Each structure stands twice: as C-alpha cells, then as structure tokens.
Amino acid sequence: MKVILLAGGFGTRLSEYTDTIPKPMVEIGGKPILWNIMNFYAQYNHKNFIVALGYKGEIIKKYFSKKFDDWKIELIDTGEKTMTGGRVKRLQKIIGNETCMLTYGDGLSNINLDSLMKFHKNHGKLVTVSAVHPPARFGAIKLDGDKVVTFKEKSHVDQGWINGGFFILEPGFFDLIDGDETYLEREPLERATKKGELFAYKHTGFWKCMDMKRDKDELELIYKDKAPWLAK
C-alpha cells in the first residue's frame, strides 16, 4: 500500500532549523524525522512511499535519492506554495484506484497501523483519521474568588481529541479536494464529515508533533531514553 508523506511546508515555527533545511529533514536521533516516520511504517511492511515535496525539496531529494533497504521512494514536487490538500490532490493519478495511507512529515507515534487498517476496513467509509490527546502543558486551578479550591496537573486525557495525522484514504476522497489552495484539514475533511464518510481511530499511546524547537528537544530526550516509534 502506498504511503503519502506531506513534506512541503515552510516550518516557520521551527525557524532555528528551517531557514536552511526543510522541517522533515530536522534530525531526531541523528536521522531526519522523515526517515524516522518511514522506518515506523516499514516496521508494518508499508514500504512504498510517495513524498510530496515543496519548500527546499531539493534537500530531501538529495538525501532520499539513495537506496534505503527495500523501500520504494517516489519524490514528487507538488509546488512550494501548495497547501496540504492541494499536495494530496496532485498525487491522485499516482495513487490511482487504491486505498492509501497518509501522514505529515513532522509527527511521530507508536500507533498500531494494523489496528488502524482493520478499523478502516470495518467501517467501510472514505476516510479514517487518527484521534489523539494533545500533550498536557498546563496545570488546572479551580478558584473560589481568590482562594484555590483545587490544583491539579493536567492530564493529557483532559485535553479532548485532536487530529493525530495518521490517515487512511479511499480513492473517492480525492474528489472532495478542489485544488492547490485547499487545506486538507478544512473543506475536504469537513465535506467528508457532512457526508458521514469520516471516522476516527482513537490512539491513546505515544504521539508527538515537532512544531517548535522545544518539541524537537523533547523528542531527542525521548529517543535517548527509548524511542516508542522504533519498537513495534
């Protein structure tokens, strides 16, 4: 099964690195985060990758043009200013009439991809999105006037569910995307929702997105301890 990797954004919130390299090439554990994501999929025998390139795509091309085990890697220029949905739309002919997987080039997880696929097949709709709890960042204080009634370090399970970025798509989903200026996370998924074609697989294990430098630093610490995405 083909795996689409969105790797074309500017990564402006990680400008300490992205002024010179694209965000998917920022290293975790000595290798680009994009390699870490591919390696995670490969553990589940998904080794056919389509990388949607944009900003500084030539750097990704140079790195991934060499052979990596038995991985098949197609590096497709989808335009520097194309939005996430537009990048996916540009790959419609390459995907053809097949189910495919999709994720962003800046997030790591230990989500069970076999269970994700089983969930997708069971509901039989166009799209499965992974739903995760965002990492807790703040403690919760309940006040009675100025008096603190309760103080509780906020658990990630108190944060609700957000898009975890690990998708499975049926070919019909591509028809819900207009063009280059379309954000995947807006009209296409909103349309799928209205049609009853979007289901969420709830993942409560490890998940971390590398948005800013502190996220990169945290991922490095996690890698040094025991990277959950390296042990199936």
Spell out the per-residue pLDDT of the chain, length 232, in tens.
999 999 999 999 999 999 999 999 999 999 999 999 999 999 999 999 999 999 999 999 999 998 888 999 999 999 999 999 999 999 999 999 999 999 999 999 999 999 999 999 999 999 999 999 887 665 555 656 754 555 555 555 456 899 999 999 999 999 999 999 999 999 999 999 999 999 999 999 999 999 999 999 999 999 999 999 997 6
Geometric angle at alpha carbon 82, from 77 and 86, rounded to 5° = 90
Buried b (16+ CB within 10 A) or exposed e, 52-91: bbbbbbebbeebbeeeeeebebebbebbeebbbbbbbbbb
**Which residue is it, tokens 């591509």?**
174
Give the DSSP H/E element, type plus range, for residue 27.
strand 27-28
Cβ proximity of 67 and 38 under 8 Å: no
Torsion angle, alpha carbons of 201, 206, 210, 215, to 10: 150
Both tokens of 99, joined, read: 């189910």
Residue 13's alpha-carbon distances to 5, 112, 205, in angstroms, are 20, 29, 25
Tell me the pLDDT tens digit for each residue of 118-165.
999 999 999 999 999 887 665 555 656 754 555 555 555 456 899 999
Cβ proximity of 164 and 132 under 8 Å: yes
Which CATH architecture describes the domain 2-133+160-230? Alpha-Beta Complex (3.90)
